[in-house]
A and B are shown apart, each in its own frame.
Chain A
Amino acid sequence: MKSTGVSVIGVAESDLGMSPPDTTPVDLMAQAAGRAAADAGISISEIDGVFAATSQLRMAPLALSEYLGIHPRYFDGTNIGGASFMSHLAHAVEALRAGLCTTALIAYGSTQRSVSRAAASPREPNFYETPYRPVLPVSAYALAAARHMHLFGTTRRQLAEIAVAARKWAAMNPKAWNRALLTIEEVLEARIISSPLSKYDCCLVTDGGGALILTTTDRAADASKQAISVLGYGEHLSHQSISKMAELTETGAVVSGKAAYEMAGLGAGDVDVAILYDAFTICTLMFLEDLGFCPKGKGGDFVAEGAIAPGGRLPVNTNGGGLSYCHPGMYGMLGMIEAVQQLRGACGERQVEAPKIALAHGNGGVLSSQCTVLFGIEQ
């Protein structure tokens, strides 16, 4: 196991779910940032690197820095959808190692439930897709799911296993939006949005945000809580429009995962907890394949019989994921927070037993951007 020499010293969620009227995305972003600084035992004024994105702010690093009253010397507002924050982390590690900043904040906030998804994430028209009225993003993921079912015999019941597993984890997370029991039959009988995906194959629409603070591992020794090492990362962009994705059943996670594993000197078999961006059930299934947890086409078999639910063979999306815990539109930040909290042993009822390596995978657009991060406890 190798390390990048950079560690996470603070993480925090903002308030999640449904915000009071006229709460802004930067309100939540800054709330999470302040909580993450407190978690790290540092003051906000020590932050000299700012990485931020949300679909609701044109210039997120500016909005956040003004709100926090800081003047960062390094910043990055990359927005590639829900994987943005894994990408920010990769860029922050490189900036910290190059000495371009010493304390890096990554932050996200969204009020998409309060203001509606259409208002929070307006899409630029695509002349060659929009007139056919895909319901985006769900129709794009539905096209991938249909193709996966066609090629590999994957079933709706297998996809439903993923939604049910997420709900079982969410039942143990007091912050999860939806904690009520969900059965496979309910998933199968729910209203189809874009076949083969039903309502319960789709992520939540909530408000929420999060923040994460990084510094070099030598400085991390001063942090108030256990520092968690960044072991590796990988990033990949494959397309923007679903009609330009080369093969809908194989994502760029193959590339981002390989890069992350190689940097860390690890493989899928070393991962104790996997947080896989579950915008839709098909995402979890394909990322299990593409990140090497099972062969291509075997994701359906892998998740059957509660294998990724509590007590199963691999703990996946232990916070309840985008399907049942929280999905403010760009969920990747919250996935990284869960990975860190699992390694710290801070997850209460849903805590996995003594994990050493956690993987957080981010997805953005319509399977378009894929970024993978490996976190670990250095021995």
Chain B
Amino acid sequence: MSGTEPISPYRRYLAGCEASRLSFQRDATGAAIFPPRMPDATDHGPLAWTDSAGAGTIYSATVVCPREAEPYALVLVDLDEGFRMMSRVVDVAAESVEIGDRVSADFRKLEDDGPVLPVFVKTGSDA
């Protein structure tokens, strides 16, 4: 990734995930931008890519209960850098995930033939 070859925002994001980095953008005012945008698509360009430390707080959570598969914890995570994303909390019982839980990003394939993406593991609770 030289920075000179054209690359879509999503592919740039995926390249970060492949290297276990949760990439997002900041605009000229310092505001966090996620999902990533095209460079000219905001009032406050240019947009600078940066990486999140991966620490965040569960904003909301739902246990999705498919008819013929294990339930899983689908969440919205507020990252400490100031952006929100959808993800899953893994490695614990889905029902144990609560709003306010502190979580940390990990990088996994959700499907065998899918990309490496950020998921989250619990690190404690905000109380």
Contact = CB atoms under 8 A, between A and B. Distances in A.
B54 to A, nearest CB: 16
A194 B62 contact: yes
A128 B35 contact: yes
A135 interface: yes
A142 B72 CA distance: 13
Given A192-B65, A194-B65, A132 B88 contact: yes
A339 interface: no
Interface string A9-45: 0000000000000000000000000000000000000
Contact of A132 (B87, B100, B115): B87
Interface stretch (A107-115, A143-151, A269-277, A308-316): A143-151
Among A144, A192, A195, chain B packs the most CB atoms within 10 A around the CB of: A195
Interface in B77-103: 84-88, 95, 99-100
A191 interface: yes
B61 A143 contact: yes
Interface in A108-140: 127-129, 131-135, 139
B115 A133 contact: no
A150 B117 contact: no
A193 B99 CA distance: 19
B74 A243 contact: no
B61 A134 contact: no
Contacts of A347: none
Interface in A163-208: 191-196
Given A146-B60, A146-B61, A192-B63, A139 B85 contact: no
Contacts of A244: 84
Interface string A212-244: 000000000000000000000000000001111
Interchain residue pairs A-B with the least CB separation, the first 4: A142-B62, A195-B63, A143-B60, A147-B60
B59 A147 contact: yes
Interface string B61-78: 111111000001010100
A129 B74 CA distance: 10
Contacts of A248: 59-60, 76
Interface in B20-59: 34-35, 59
10 contacts: A129-B86, A131-B117, A132-B110, A134-B86, A135-B64, A139-B64, A146-B99, A147-B59, A147-B60, A195-B63
Contact of B86 (A128, A147, A195): A128
Contacts of B59: 147, 248
B9 to A, nearest CB: 9
A143 B95 CA distance: 14
A128 B85 contact: yes
A194 B63 contact: yes
Contacts of B85: 128, 243
Contacts of B66: 135
Given A194-B64, A195-B62, 17 more contacts: A128-B34, A128-B86, A131-B114, A132-B117, A133-B64, A134-B64, A134-B74, A135-B64, A135-B66, A139-B64, A143-B62, A150-B100, A191-B65, A192-B65, A194-B62, A196-B62, A248-B60
A242 B62 contact: no
Nearest to A127: B10
Contact of A193 (B65, B110, B115): B65
B65 A143 contact: no
Nearest to B62: A142
A194 B65 CA distance: 6
A133 B72 contact: yes
Nearest to A147: B60
A131 to B, nearest CB: 5
B111 interface: yes
Contact of A147 (B87, B99, B114, B115): B99
Contact of B74 (A133, A147, A241): A133
A105 B63 CA distance: 42
Nearest to A151: B99
Contacts of A243: 76, 84-86
